[in-house]
Structure 1
Amino acid sequence: MDHSLLIIIIIFSITFLKAFRSHLFKKSKKQELPLPPGPKPWPIIGNLPEMLTHRPTFRWIQNLMKEMNTEIACIRLGNVHVIPVTCPTIAREFLRKQDATFASRPNSITTSLISRGYLSTTLVPFGEQWKKMRRIVSNDLLSTTTHQRLENKRVEEADNLVFYIYNKCKNNVNDNVCLVNVRYVAQHYSCNVIKKLIFSTRYFGEGKKDGGPGREEEEHVDSIFTMLKYIYDFSVSDYVPFLRGLDLDGHEGKVKKALEIVEKYHDPIIEQRIKERNNGSKIDGEDFLDILISLKDANNNPMLTTQEIKAQITELMMAAMDNPTNAFEWGLGEMINQPKLLQRAVEELDTVVGKERLVQESDIPKLNYIKACAREAFRLHPIVPFNVPHVSLKDTIVGNYLIPKGSHILLSRQELGRNPKVWNDEPLKFKPERHLINKSDVVLTDQDLNLISFSTGRRGCPGFMLGTTMTVMLFARLLHAFTWIAPPNVSHINLAESSHDISLAHPPLALAKPRLPPELYNK
């Protein structure tokens, strides 16, 4: 029997018995208000059969909304109303006008595992735990003061990034060029930066002499991206909770295995640092871990438990790695395929920075075209189809539709960024200059939700300053220090989208060649 059909039969049988006993067919007066348009749900199980037979689910939702010609829909999965949105005006209704109503998160097996029972920030439902952790992350870890104090750690990793690629080129004695796996380089740069900020270390193992990652770093990064892949993927147990534990989709097992690897590297460092504090050693606040350990409550007791620290560090690691990596690999591919864009970016860098030094974070305010390239990558090629789900805390009305309590609100990052009503000038083309019109300073955030980079509102990303810095430095350092062209015998970078998600189907490969004085690379 087909696996998906078996799942449907199990869900239907068990859910029907539970629903019959609970008299779920009784309707309230509020249910007479119209829900957003959507496919007709089956009794009890809703649209779970369609979800299970149309993979990937996000593409089924996108196509469904286009067929129905609607910018807000309602898809019932089990007893959960899932509300996808592709219109910025409606998105602002959710995350600005009624932000407080949609300030919670859904429960799921993957988020529960990664957050160690909802002890972190981003993944935690609305409540006192979220308020406490959000305050700590915003005020103590990601504040302007801390950001400035830890600049040297970020710059050290930007230097190492350039050093690593230069060494690869130098080893090619004949023509001083090297073939670079752009995804690999970008992912490990992003991981190195957040790892240095959290633990004050680049390597969990020995690393490589040329500045590249070792086996331990590769295993760690792969595990982080596995968790990112499945954290909010459409899993049947998220909508039929009593099926949790059966792992019908296989997501739980993959996340558990990845989490075990991550904890293998994180936990010994955390436990050792806490032991040192308990033994009276000075904790000097030189990294995020020091800060979290040294926080005290009103009675001078540790503010956070060991489990809270571990959960928050895992979440910080995940949050810092996806956006910069994805934006750069798409952005560089687009720019290599449009050489005039690449030339304009390099000319800006040479004008602002020159060729006698490397780009520094202090240059970022002047690099508007580089920021426009990064912003355009966020717009056209977001890392995931939907933002982190928001959950309605009560029944409410948006756009003359009933949004029931408990609904999962999914803002479509891809469709918002490509909405032709907003981006009417060739919305499917990579055109960084669109972000320079009437703007003296380009920023990567968008409070109007015409695109989603770091979201907004109560559940907006508190790390937008760090995320912006990491992303712009990744673009600026690599475009300034090297020339980039397509590999030999290839006319352009293949920008085909994966059939499983919206990342590039294949890690982009590009030829890099140093373009600055040799002494700058040996710093």
Structure 2
Amino acid sequence: MISTISVALLFIVLIHFLVHKTKLTFRCILENGKSVPQLPPGPSPWPIIGCVPEMLRQKPTFRWIHRLMKEMDTNIACIRLGNVHVIPVTCPEIAREFLTKHDAKFSSRPPSMASRTCSGGYLTAILTPYGTQWKKMRRVLVSEIISPARRRWLKDRRTEEADNLVKYIYNRSKSLSQTVNVRTATRQYTANVTRQIMFSKRWFGEERADGGPTVAEEEHVEAVYTILKYLFAFCISDYFPWLVGLDLDGHERLVKEAISTVKKYHDPIIDSRIGKWRRFGHSNEEPTSDEPHDLLDVLITLKDSEGKPLLTLEEIKAQVTEIMFASIDNPANAVEWALAEMINQPEMLKTAMDELDRVVGKERLVQECDIPHLNYIKACAREAFRLHPIRPFVPTHMAMSDAVVAGYFIPKGSHVLLSRPGLGRNPKVWNNPLEFRPERHLTSECTEVQLTEPDLRFISFSTGRRSCVAPLFGTAMTVMLLARMVQGFNWKAPRDVTSINLDESIEDMFPVDPVIAHAEPRLPLYLYP
């Protein structure tokens, strides 16, 4: 009986594959009676399973994809995983065609185990497929969360965390080793900023006197980075949905554990705050006043046209988590890499310090109002985004209908992956692409350096209908983080090493080892909190 059932299932899967392939062939051959282009070049797939064996054998998958494209000498490829056509792109011109000319067709997200789990069942703005729910949540973010008024409203919270960063590094510089774990400093700064604007607090437990993270904050940040890792992983059940629950590659357990950790810290705060606001609506008990104090208050107090709460409890919790993991990684990674590169090239560090001394001086700490005038600092950040991106790909775009892009047929349902390193390190676009050279972003035509890159020659903050909704917030966080670290301290490699190791991890895009550097205060002592 088992043998009979197995053969029957195999037969059904084979028939499904043949039907799918036949439909695709007809779509490729006929369009209004005319032949249309073929799929982009790619490896020959196995029947039914596609290139999944190679995906499982060649870990990490993103490096296999980039290696494959280099061997094939192509800027666009097609790799079939199950019945899904995965389309990686490393050319800015082709990327612009996807996200400008054909943006409407590629403005959805594919379903996946990690995105479903992390978005509370597709309740959020970034991970949710195109549709009514996505439109609702994106409208909430754009009009209520990251509007210019909100950004100005929360400026003091961001400044407080910039002060706390200086305090923490200063205290580390006075320790016995005088060294700073730059990765810890940058990641905790971005997490602190996000916790402050979301919850009006940087701590989940007792505050540390030196300004550093406690075990709770470290656990929280580690869980957020685990979520991000598996949101961009290639999980086998994403291409064979009937395997969900079997957890063949172990991703499901790790994602659920990370979400559980984040909820352990978020949910008590959210539940308590919602309880206070709901009671305030039916009694004389006030939370503290009838005005929101942070972004959580904003999400809770939004009303629909009938005066009822716009967002459900589940939507609030899911969106809070999404804002958290969307905010903390990109600026922290860029600044860790930038500072490491600048330490290894002291003349570059001196140029940045000279700009800060000229624009800001040494009698006050750099502020957000100084950002427009810090072109060299921003050029260093741009170069870090270009050469050392946070992830191998941007969040996946899914084709909602057939399209022809760059002369190739892109079938409905395809997963389009814009390659961050492929775009930023493309030798046809950049001279000496593997060199860290901030000066390449300082041109006579550019009066003010911007961190955004609309031409997609690299990706700092994505573009199109599914673009990053808060590039100004990301810019402020990135530039303030790098500027405060460079202004406040002289940096060099620790005493026992000659330079910072700039090797990239095989498993991800981070430095292979956390950057550890020697810091020495360079401003008057009264400026250190």
TM-score exceeds 0.5: yes
TM-aligned CA distance change 1:335 to 1:29, over 3 Å: same
Q: Which runs of 4+ in 1 moved over 3 A?
A: 11-17
Q: For residues 517 and 488 of structure 2, what CA distance do their matches in structure 1 show? A: 14
String of CA shifts for 1:474-504, please: whole Å, max 9, x gaps: 0000000001000112111001111111211
Q: Is the CA contact 1:15–1:44 (under 8 Å) kept in the aligned structure 2?
A: no
String of CA shifts for 1:106-136, please: whole Å, max 9, x gaps: 1011111110000011001000100010011
- Matched residue type, 1:20: I
Match of 2:340 in 1: 333
Q: Is the CA contact 1:357–1:520 (under 8 Å) kept in the aligned structure 2?
A: yes
Q: Is the CA contact 2:394–2:419 (under 8 Å) kept in the aligned structure 1?
A: yes
Secondary structure class of the residue paired with 1:397: strand
Q: What is the CA RMSD across the aligned residues, in angstroms?
A: 1.4
Match of 2:238 in 1: 238
Q: For residues 394 and 420 of structure 2, what CA distance do their matches in structure 1 show? A: 6
Q: Is the CA contact 2:17–2:48 (under 8 Å) kept in the aligned structure 1?
A: no
Q: For residues 52 and 385 of structure 2, what CA distance do their matches in structure 1 show? A: 31
Q: Tell me by how many angstroms 1:249 deviates.
A: 1.1
Match of 1:18 in 2: 13
**Equivalent residue for 2:525, pick from 502, 506, 518:** 518
**Equivalent residue for 2:476, pick from 469, 482, 489:** 469
> Are residue 269 (structure 1) and residue 269 (structure 2) matched?
yes
Identity of aligned residues (%): 56
Q: Which runs of 5+ in 1 are unaligned?
A: 1-10
Q: Is the CA contact 1:283–1:294 (under 8 Å) kept in the aligned structure 2?
A: no
Q: For residues 11 and 450 of structure 2, what CA distance do their matches in structure 1 show? A: 51
Match of 2:354 in 1: 347
Match of 1:205 in 2: 205
Q: For residues 283 and 47 of structure 1, what CA distance do their matches in structure 2 show? A: 57
TM-aligned CA distance change 1:134 to 1:475, over 3 Å: same
- Matched residue type, 2:27: K
TM-aligned CA distance change 1:263 to 1:382, over 3 Å: same
- Matched residue type, 1:506: D
Secondary structure class of the residue paired with 1:393: coil
TM-aligned CA distance change 1:385 to 1:460, over 3 Å: same
Between the two proteins, the alignment pairs up a number of residues equal to 507
TM-aligned CA distance change 1:72 to 1:498, over 3 Å: same
**Equivalent residue for 1:30, pick from 16, 22, 27:** 27
Q: For residues 278 and 521 of structure 2, what CA distance do their matches in structure 1 show? A: 49
Secondary structure class of the residue paired with 1:82: strand
1:472-483 to 2 correspondence within 5 Å? 472-483=479-490
Match of 1:181 in 2: 181
Q: Which runs of 5+ in 2 are unaligned?
A: 1-5, 30-36, 281-285
Match of 2:111 in 1: 107
Q: For residues 167 and 60 of structure 1, what CA distance do their matches in structure 2 show? A: 43
String of CA shifts for 1:425-461, please: whole Å, max 9, x gaps: 2111000010011211111111110010111010000
Q: Is the CA contact 2:334–2:385 (under 8 Å) kept in the aligned structure 1?
A: yes
Match of 1:460 in 2: 467
Q: Is the CA contact 1:194–1:317 (under 8 Å) kept in the aligned structure 2?
A: yes
Q: Is the CA contact 1:283–1:290 (under 8 Å) kept in the aligned structure 2?
A: no
- Matched residue type, 1:141: I
Match of 1:430 in 2: 436
Q: Tell me by how many angstroms 1:147 deviates.
A: 0.2
Secondary structure class of the residue paired with 1:409: strand
**Equivalent residue for 1:116, pick from 117, 120, 126:** 120
1:78-477 to 2 correspondence within 5 Å? 78-172=82-176, 178-280=178-280, 281=286, 282-423=289-430, 425-437=431-443, 438-477=445-484
- Matched residue type, 1:156: E
Q: Is the CA contact 2:378–2:451 (under 8 Å) kept in the aligned structure 1?
A: yes
Q: Is the CA contact 2:173–2:180 (under 8 Å) kept in the aligned structure 1?
A: no
Q: For residues 349 and 175 of structure 2, what CA distance do their matches in structure 1 show? A: 26
Match of 1:75 in 2: 79
TM-score, normalised to structure 1, is 0.95
Q: For residues 31 and 517 of structure 1, what CA distance do their matches in structure 2 show? A: 69
Q: For residues 511 and 139 of structure 1, what CA distance do their matches in structure 2 show? A: 43
Q: For residues 21 and 243 of structure 1, what CA distance do their matches in structure 2 show? A: 17
- Matched residue type, 2:438: P
Q: For residues 26 and 87 of structure 1, what CA distance do their matches in structure 2 show? A: 30
Q: Is the CA contact 2:17–2:83 (under 8 Å) kept in the aligned structure 1?
A: no
Q: For residues 171 and 60 of structure 2, what CA distance do their matches in structure 1 show? A: 40
* Greater shift in the superposed pair: 163-172 or 152-161: 163-172
> Are residue 52 (structure 1) and residue 49 (structure 2) matched?
no
Q: Tell me by how many angstroms 1:16 deviates.
A: 5.6
TM-aligned CA distance change 1:100 to 1:500, over 3 Å: same
Q: For residues 15 and 365 of structure 1, what CA distance do their matches in structure 2 show? A: 62
* Greater shift in the superposed pair: 162-171 or 121-130: 162-171
String of CA shifts for 1:65-122, please: whole Å, max 9, x gaps: 1111110000000000000000000000000111010000010111111100000110
TM-aligned CA distance change 1:441 to 1:13, over 3 Å: farther
Match of 1:3 in 2: none
- Matched residue type, 1:273: R
